[in-house]
Structure 1
Amino acid sequence: MSNDQKNLDLNDVVSILNDSRIVMLTTALNDGKLLAHPMVPQQVTADADVWFFIGLHGDQATALRTNPHVNITVAEAGNWLSVAGRVEFVDDPAKVDELWDDSVAAWFEHGRNDPNLGLIKVTSDSAQHWGLTGGKLSAMAQIVKSKVTGQRTGGGSDTTEL
């Protein structure tokens, strides 16, 4: 990690996850092959745990029932985050009601009562971040400048246990 970047902490991870409209959730199938799906985080807790709705009848849910270890990936201009964690299927109609919104309805034909609707919570274990300082706009400016000048953008990486 370069000297100009602060150490990654829990608040950084929560902030990056909260700012992400779509993440990639990677699971391992029984044969060891990795399966990644774009997912919409419904909620990120102060502990960097992430709630998602999931289709219960697909390959992803099947893989998660066998192996609950997952990776959440965020990639955006100048900012990359990888979060390792464990999935727990949660049967909680009150939590479904709390997290439900119109965008979720488009994926589940029978709404909140759809038999395919599942809720999972990823309990985050650790995170690794590679990035540039100053947020998205600053990162874009640094990337453009590096292309023009041929100089490296700087930045660095850090890992933290959550």
Structure 2
Amino acid sequence: MTTHDDQIATVAEIMKETRIAVLTYTSLQGALVSTPMGTQDFDEPGTTWFLTERSSDKVAAIEADPRVNVSYSSNAGWVSLSGTARVSEDREKLRELWDASAGAFMSGGPDDPDNVLLEIDGATAEYWESPGKVKAAIQLAKGLVGDSTPDLGDNDTVIL
């Protein structure tokens, strides 16, 4: 039987293996907007950090409506993290998370007042754990040629 700790570990593994996540928020005009973001860190799956510019449309939209979803996809599986975001100007944390990739997309460095953090507080995570590429291909083929439903891995929702 899968425990809550096992579920959290699965979610964390998928998140760690994902280079680029997709952040979805509601624009000021009420439309859903998705944008690629590099996950800089997460203390646990329930708290995720991104770097962004305060002057961006996404920050204005998130300050107006903090509800967000962040999706992760890797060979380990897929995660849809739902929660709320807040803007943080914690310079110490920003310096800790700043790296060469941040400098490639953002100007001014970690001390630039326009550079801020988005802290995502996750409430739930829907996940699908991949059984691996070869097993998934075999199961998919079985499902296509047979009458059985393919076993494509575990799927569940966990409260963070």
What TM-score results when the alignment is normalised by the length of structure 2? 0.84
Residue 62 in structure 1 maps to residue 60 in structure 2: yes
Conserved in 2, the CA contact under 8 Å of 1:78 and 1:143? no
Taking the aligned partners of 1:87 and 1:140, their CA distance within structure 2 comes to 33
Q: Counterparts in 2 of 1:5-84, with a 5 A limit? A: 6=2, 9-46=7-44, 48-77=46-75, 79-84=77-82
Structure 1 ranges of 4+ moved more than 6 A: none
Name the aligned partner's letter for residue 152 of structure 2.
G
Q: State the aligned residue count.
A: 153
Partner residue, 2:136: 143
RMSD value over aligned CA atoms?
2.1
Which deviates the most, 12-21 or 119-128?
Answer: 12-21
Query: Relative contact order (alpha carbons < 8 A, sep ≥ 6): 1 or 2 greater?
Result: 1
Q: Percent identity at matched positions?
A: 25
The CA distance in 1 between the partners of 2:32 and 2:60, in whole Å, is 13
How far 1:61 moved relative to its partner? 1.1
Moved more, 118-127 or 102-111: 102-111
More deviation in 142-151 or 40-49? 142-151
CA distance in 1, matches of 2:75, 2:18: 12
Q: Does the Cα contact within 8 Å between 1:27 and 1:71 map onto a contact in 2?
A: yes
Whole-angstrom distance in 2 between the partners of 1:53 and 1:78: 24
Q: 1:154 to 1:109 in 2, by over 3 A?
A: closer
Distance in 2, matches of 1:32 and 1:132, equals: 34
CA distance in structure 2 between the aligned counterparts of 1:46 and 1:132, rounded to whole angstroms: 21
Superposition map of 1:121-136 within 5 A? 121-133=119-131
> How far apart are residue 63 of structure 1 and its match?
0.9
Structure 1 unaligned residues grouped into runs of 5+? 134-138
Structure that is richer in strand per residue? 2
Question: What 5-or-longer segments of structure 2 have no aligned partner?
Answer: none
